[in-house]
Amino acid sequence: MSPPRPRFAPAAPRLVTESIDTPIGRVIAIAGDAGICVLEFLEERESPSSAAAFARRYGEPARSRADARLDRLRGELDAYFRGALRRFESPLDLRGTPFQRSVWTRLARTPYGATITYAQLAARAGRPSAVRATGHANGRNPVSILVPCHRVVGTDGALHGYGGGLWRKRWLLELERSGSPPPVPQRRG
């Protein structure tokens, strides 16, 4: 008689996902083994399909389940939106080209409450003539708020493009300038 086969618990999913409510709308978060991979705003017309698209792109399923990394992120976001957190400590798992990661690394060093221009960011990334490419890399930032792409402004100081909408960019900058949450605008434009 052969020995019984050992039973193993199913492997935990490598990518876990959760939607989190914030004062300025729902976000979807995805965590991988090394940290947070995605944090982006969901619009009312969208479903949490960002998780599925991300999973397809990286060939891994993303499943919704309890997870300490996402619990920590939820707590940090809550403190940030109350004006009580100025620096996120959740580990990140940034997946992008070497140039994109270089831009995101420099962007993450932009102080709370400060802004930086696309040209300054390009120079800090070591590519001063690559302002457009830097803007594109900024737009591809997968972890909104954690890598503060809302802190990037035009050379004239004007607000330009933000995946979550310019009204959210204004709101986030005001939160960081004042240290307390501003009212959420009725008309989001």
108 assigned to some structural domain = yes
pLDDT of amino acid 154: 92
Same domain, 121 and 68: no
One domain, residues 105 and 174? yes
Count structural domains, the chain.
Answer: 2
Query: With bands split at pLDDT 50, 70 and 90, how would you rate the model's confidence at 14?
Result: confident
Domain end, chosen from 81, 108, 130, is at 81
Quote the pLDDT of residue 9: 39
Domain boundary pick from 81, 114, 132: 81
Task: Please return the burial class of 156, using the count of CB atoms within 10 Å of its CB with bins 0-12, 13-18 and 19+.
Answer: exposed
Same domain, 56 and 107: no
Q: Tell me: the pLDDT tens digits for 176-185?
A: 999 999 999 8
Q: The domain containing residue 46 runs over which residues?
A: 15-81
User: Is there a domain that residue 6 lies in?
Assistant: no
Angle at 79 between CA 51 and CA 20, to 5 degrees: 25
Q: Is the pLDDT of residue 5 over 60?
A: no
- Indicate if 102 and 171 belong to the same structural domain: yes
Question: How many Cβ atoms sit within 10 Å of the Cβ of residue 176?
Answer: 19
Alpha-carbon distance 180 to 30, whole Å?
Answer: 27
Per-residue pLDDT band for 6 (boundaries 50, 70, 90) equals very low
What SS3 state is found at 156?
coil
Residues noted as catalytic: 149
Query: Cα(137)–Cα(100) distance, rounded to whole angstroms?
Result: 5
Rounded CA gap, 31 and 93, in Å?
A: 8
Q: Do 54 and 124 have their domain in common?
A: no
Residues 108 and 173 in one domain: yes
The reply to whether 43 falls in a domain is yes
Q: Are residues 109 and 165 in the same domain?
A: yes
Mean pLDDT over 115-123 rounds to 96
Residue 66 sits in the same domain as residue 130: no
Verify that 24 and 73 share a domain, yes or no.
yes
Which tens digit of pLDDT belongs to each residue from 27-77? 999 998 889 999 999 875 555 556 666 667 767 766 777 889 999 999 999
87 domain residue, yes or no: no
In a domain, 111, yes or no: yes
pLDDT digits (tens, 9 = 90+) for 72-105: 999 999 999 999 999 999 999 988 899 999 999 9
Residue 146 in any domain: the answer is yes
Residues 64, 104, single domain; the answer is: no
Number of residues that this document lists for the chain: 189
Residue 163 lies in a domain: yes
Please check whether residues 102 and 169 belong to one and the same domain: yes
- H or E element: which one contains 51? helix 49-58
Residue 86 lies in a domain: no
Same domain for 107 and 167, yes or no, is: yes
This prediction's pTM: 0.85
Positive or negative, the Cα torsion across 14, 19, 21, 24?
Answer: positive
